[in-house]
Homo-oligomer: A and B are copies of this chain.
Amino acid sequence: MKQPLIIDVHGHYTTAPKALEEWRNKQIANLKTPELGPKVSELKISDDELRESIEANQLRLMKQRGSDLTIFSPRASFMAHHIGDFNTSATWAGICNELCHRVSQLFPDHFIGAAMLPQSPGVDVATCIPELEKCVKEYGFVGINLNPDPSGGHWTSPPLSDRYWYPIYEKMVEHEIPAMIHVSTSCNACFHTTGAHYLNADTTAFMQCLTSDLFKDFPTLKFLIPHGGGAVPYHWGRFRGLAQEMKKPLLTEHLLNNIYFDTCVYHQPGIDLLTHVIPVDNILFASEMIGAVRGIDPETGHYYDDTKRYIEAAGRLSEQDRFKIYEGNARKVFPRLDKALQQKGQ
């Protein structure tokens, strides 16, 4: 059997040159006086700086760990859609997406883009469509990150099943792009960003889909739930039982033609559970490297987020299963990625 292409569907540009953060800090300082800048043109990052930030970090680790291609989006915790208004988010999303695009141009074999959207709490999501379409049509991006809680931990938007979100879904279906459902930094003191808010959002999003008939309205809509699906696989029996009480179809039928889980679960027992409970057709390889958990696990001597090791060691998986997790499912969920690879003869 042909060696699979190892596609990591969940990488963020967490290592962007410092100038990006400095620009953002100025933007935040002038939220009420945007005329004082900074202008987009004031941000100057050279190709060499981009190259260096990637070669020394993500690309180095990809080579070490043996992954080939990363679906690369702006840093999730920096999206911070709760800051400022739509214009704040629009400018910021434009900058961050362009940087990911430039990375994908500099390293076309190793990175392909996914867009952050210029969401802003309470604002019509149709306002995100121009940025979405620019990223798809001009940058060749293959997916988006959709934030179900642009308020940053106050959960003031309607559930994902609400028609509020439908303008985005219509565009996703039209352009054949999936959404990774990914929140950003928490500004609610109750929720630690990467230790609570991220995982809670994953569970919440899944349950919003479960209680609704969203995928009857959008039979080809695809959501990728990151961080191994939050609490969902661990509580798969609870979710099956709740769906049963609500007279919903079996979850395989009700949700699993539309919902996929990544493998950002940072220990072997977690991956073993994920691959036991969730059908292999619904699992996509990912590490979120370089992300929230950067250290080396003293129990194994390897990086916590070196999730490929766990997939390799997961005893239940056949070679065919691993092919799906590494490559096949990503091509299915991200049809534009598949086309881009085919155009390169891959």
Residues of A within 8 A of B (CB): 148-149, 153-155, 157-159, 188-192, 194-196, 199-200, 203-204, 207-208, 210-211, 227-228, 230-231, 233-242, 244-245, 265-267, 269-270, 272-273, 276-277, 292-295, 297-299, 304-305
Q: Is A236 a contact partner of B196 (Cβ separation < 8 A)?
A: no
| Contact among B208, B299, B304 with A238 in the assembled complex (CB-CB below 8 Å) | B304
**Nearest chain B CB to A148's CB is how many angstroms away?**
8
Q: Is B228 a contact partner of A234 (Cβ separation < 8 A)?
A: yes
Q: Is A194 a contact partner of B242 (Cβ separation < 8 A)?
A: yes
Q: Is A196 a contact partner of B207 (Cβ separation < 8 A)?
A: yes
Q: Is B158 a contact partner of A155 (Cβ separation < 8 A)?
A: no
**Nearest chain B CB to A232's CB is how many angstroms away?**
9
Q: Is A266 a contact partner of B241 (Cβ separation < 8 A)?
A: yes
Q: Is A292 a contact partner of B154 (Cβ separation < 8 A)?
A: no
| Contact among B200, B234, B297 with A273 in the assembled complex (CB-CB below 8 Å) | B234
11 A-B Cβ contacts within 8 A? A190-B208, A192-B207, A194-B238, A200-B204, A228-B235, A234-B265, A237-B270, A238-B292, A241-B266, A241-B292, A241-B304
Q: Is B199 a contact partner of A237 (Cβ separation < 8 A)?
A: no
Q: Is B241 a contact partner of A293 (Cβ separation < 8 A)?
A: yes
Q: Is A210 a contact partner of B195 (Cβ separation < 8 A)?
A: yes
> Which residues from B are CB-within-8-Å of A294?
241, 245
Q: Is A292 a contact partner of B188 (Cβ separation < 8 A)?
A: no
**Nearest chain B CB to A308's CB is how many angstroms away?**
14
> Which residues from B are CB-within-8-Å of A269?
236, 273, 276-277
- Asked if A195 meets B239 with Cβ closer than 8 Å, knowing A159-B190, A208-B190, A273-B269, the reply is yes
| Contact among B188, B267, B273, B305 with A155 in the assembled complex (CB-CB below 8 Å) | B188
**Nearest chain B CB to A295's CB is how many angstroms away?**
5
Q: Is A195 a contact partner of B242 (Cβ separation < 8 A)?
A: yes
**Nearest chain B CB to A254's CB is how many angstroms away?**
13
**Nearest chain B CB to A294's CB is how many angstroms away?**
7
Q: Is A238 a contact partner of B273 (Cβ separation < 8 A)?
A: no
Q: Which residue of B lies closest to A233 (CB)?
A: B234
Q: Is A293 a contact partner of B195 (Cβ separation < 8 A)?
A: no
Q: Is B265 a contact partner of A295 (Cβ separation < 8 A)?
A: no
> Which residues from B are CB-within-8-Å of A159?
189-190
| Contact among B194, B199, B237, B292 with A265 in the assembled complex (CB-CB below 8 Å) | B237
> Which residues from B are CB-within-8-Å of A270?
234-237, 273
Q: Is A204 a contact partner of B191 (Cβ separation < 8 A)?
A: yes
**Nearest chain B CB to A250's CB is how many angstroms away?**
8
Q: Is A189 a contact partner of B158 (Cβ separation < 8 A)?
A: yes
**Nearest chain B CB to A292's CB is how many angstroms away?**
7
Q: Is B189 a contact partner of A304 (Cβ separation < 8 A)?
A: no
9 A-B pairs with least C-beta separation: A237-B267, A237-B266, A241-B293, A234-B234, A231-B231, A200-B200, A195-B207, A241-B304, A196-B207
> Which residues from B are CB-within-8-Å of A207?
191-192, 195-196
> Which residues from B are CB-within-8-Å of A192?
204, 207-208, 210-211, 242
